[in-house]
A and B are shown apart, each in its own frame.
Chain A
Amino acid sequence: MYTEIILAGFGGQGVLLIGKLLAYAGMKDGLEVTWMPAYGPEMRGGTCNCTVVLSDRQVGSPISRNPHGAVVLNLQSIDKFESTIRPGGIMVVNTSLINRAPLRRDLIVVPVAANQIAQEAGSAKAANMVALGGFLGASRVVDLDLVKATLAETFAGRPKIVQLNHTCLDKGFAIGQAVAAMPPGR
């Protein structure tokens, strides 16, 4: 297993956090992992992205020209990364902020109205968790329970936050799972 995932949005959406959660859960699952944030001038102007590699063998490059999967939380991010994803890859699209359809026909697209779902669950700030859930449901790259346990550790002592984030992960997961269950060619 060697999976490269890019997570992208604007600063403040919690893109780096969900990347770290993914990496942390992967590490707990016994995988070799890397988490690499973009920290260059593209960060100015508000964009934000990180690359997570999950592998059963030593990780080489921590960055990828053609990732296996992507979680894109805003329009700028889908514009930048959609074309780079490998054919057959998973792309989680935050439809709350992305108002165009994907251009690629060869990806497994998981549309999540992340902001809306998070708002209904208690706070739009947890939109990132809905998106992460969507990716986990479609890819099964790490166990959802492991991610939830990691999150609970990260926010230990703040049960309401943990509850909100878990709910959002679940809702996203269900969407991702449903997409993955659909026959190909849709």
Chain B
Amino acid sequence: MAKKLMKGCEAIGEAAIQAGCRLFFGYPITPQNEIPEYLSGRLPQVGGTFLQVESEVAASNMLYGAAGAGCRCFTSSSSPGISLMAEAMSYIAASELPVVFVNIMRAGPGLGGILPSQADYRQATKGGGHGDYRLLVLAPSTVQEAADLTMEAFDLADKYRSPVLILGDGLIGQMMEPVEFKRRIEPEDLPAKPWATTGAQGRPPNIINSLYLNPEDLERHNWALAKKYQAMASEVRYETYLADEKLDVLVVAYGSVARIARTSIDALREKGLKVGLFRPVTLFPYPSDALAQTALRADRVLVTELSTGQMLDDVRAVVAGRRPVEFFGRVGGMIMSAEELAEQVEAIAAVPV
């Protein structure tokens, strides 16, 4: 299939359709409006249903219903809208339903601004909603990867009967890059879901539920969920760039910032500095072992994010004091240039260890 030039948002929408998803319930918010806009035209073409609903609370709860009935479904939003979905995410995780969420992050907190940020890392990986649950979190760095990971997200959600979040940002969402859709599956070819509420003719009724008033039952349920999240460790993904040797500085970044870092690293390598990149692709499960191994090859670690330092905490935990961990961030929708980031790396590299 020939490559098409597409916006990240549009590629995500198309990828969902290629993955056999025929339901989208959503609400507008910049900078992800192109996802519902694209799907409003595309879903009717493939016999699907697009609904712009009254709020993100409505959208996320409708997904609970649709997923409970066994349908592939997803929604997209941006930061404040994702906050509104938090309760439903908890319910969806607790009820063990496959739902894909997409967060095209914008600057916060509060109403904030419409420009890109990465300030929802903590919300995505540590909670968002209440209770002992986790989202499987995937962070694309290119439009192609956004398309690929969106397709995989549906498979992973079904595999674990658990919600999956694609964590993008306004840069990935708005930029155009060549993309090709590598496979397609029709809804009728998807494996059946015997646990779903598809109509109880000739079988005992299925119940989708998260209420367990008996504490022993709820405890059992919580440990079972915890075991499931541990099992997700086999889905760890990450990428390294020029990090296979001894390094002056290891840059750790994900999403758009990782690609900015690549440009910085190329320039720094030309100046003779030994700099490499560690790019987590799954933010939960976090590639802790691989990061630890790579970090120990470097004299110093620099975490760079479009936030005041959220993934920073995880990197510090992984490195566990064995190397100095520095941080450089831009916030409010400001984005570091490759040149600016390179200057930061050089400054850090100049400090003797």
On A, residues with C-beta under 8 Å from B are 20, 23-24, 27, 32-37, 39-41, 58-66
Q: Check B259 against A39 for contact (C-beta < 8 Å).
A: no
Q: B296 on the interface (CB 8 Å rule)?
A: no
Q: B66 on the interface (CB 8 Å rule)?
A: no
Q: B175 touches which one: A27, A32, A58, A62 (CB < 8 A)?
A: A62
Q: A37 touches which one: B3, B174, B266, B333 (CB < 8 A)?
A: B174
Q: Check B333 against A40 for contact (C-beta < 8 Å).
A: yes
Q: Check B338 against A34 for contact (C-beta < 8 Å).
A: no
Extra A-B contacts (7), CB below 8 Å, given A20-B5, A59-B259, A64-B337: A27-B5, A37-B174, A39-B115, A40-B333, A60-B266, A62-B256, A63-B337
On B, residues with C-beta under 8 Å from A are 3, 5, 30-31, 113-115, 170-171, 174-178, 256, 259-264, 266, 333, 335, 337-340
Minimal Cβ-Cβ distance residue in A for B173: A39
Q: Check B263 against A34 for contact (C-beta < 8 Å).
A: no
B263 neighbours in A (Cβ, 8 Å): 60-61
Q: Check B337 against A65 for contact (C-beta < 8 Å).
A: yes
A27 neighbours in B (Cβ, 8 Å): 3, 5, 178
Q: Check B176 against A40 for contact (C-beta < 8 Å).
A: no
A29 and B218 alpha carbons, distance in the complex (Å)? 59
A33 and B30 alpha carbons, distance in the complex (Å)? 24
Q: Check A40 against B115 for contact (C-beta < 8 Å).
A: yes
Q: B174 touches which one: A23, A24, A36, A41 (CB < 8 A)?
A: A36
B114 neighbours in A (Cβ, 8 Å): 39-41
Report the 5 A-B pairs with minimum CB-CB distance, sorted nearest first. A60-B263, A65-B337, A60-B262, A35-B176, A61-B260
Minimal Cβ-Cβ distance residue in A for B107: A40
Q: How far is the CB of A81 from chain B (nearest CB, A)?
A: 14
- Interface hub of A20, A32, A39 (most chain B Cβ within 10 A): A39
Q: Check B338 against A35 for contact (C-beta < 8 Å).
A: no
Q: Check A33 against B259 for contact (C-beta < 8 Å).
A: no
- List, sorted by A's number, 13 A–B pairs whose CB atoms are closer than 8 Å: A20-B5, A33-B5, A35-B175, A36-B174, A39-B30, A39-B174, A41-B114, A60-B261, A60-B263, A64-B338, A65-B338, A65-B339, A65-B340
Q: How far is the CB of A100 from chain B (nearest CB, A)?
A: 27
B115 neighbours in A (Cβ, 8 Å): 39-40
Q: A36 touches which one: B3, B171, B262, B266 (CB < 8 A)?
A: B171
A65 and B5 alpha carbons, distance in the complex (Å)? 24
Would A33 and B262 be within 8 Å (CB), given that A40-B115, A40-B333, A64-B337 are in contact? Answer: no
Q: How far is the CB of A23 from chain B (nearest CB, A)?
A: 6
Q: Check B337 against A39 for contact (C-beta < 8 Å).
A: no
Q: B260 touches which one: A33, A40, A58, A60 (CB < 8 A)?
A: A60
A61 neighbours in B (Cβ, 8 Å): 259-260, 262-263, 337-338
Q: How far is the CB of A70 from chain B (nearest CB, A)?
A: 16
Q: Check B176 against A66 for contact (C-beta < 8 Å).
A: no
A63 neighbours in B (Cβ, 8 Å): 171, 260, 335, 337
A35 and B120 alpha carbons, distance in the complex (Å)? 25
B176 neighbours in A (Cβ, 8 Å): 20, 23, 34-36
Q: How far is the CB of A29 from chain B (nearest CB, A)?
A: 11
B30 neighbours in A (Cβ, 8 Å): 39
A39 neighbours in B (Cβ, 8 Å): 30-31, 114-115, 170, 174
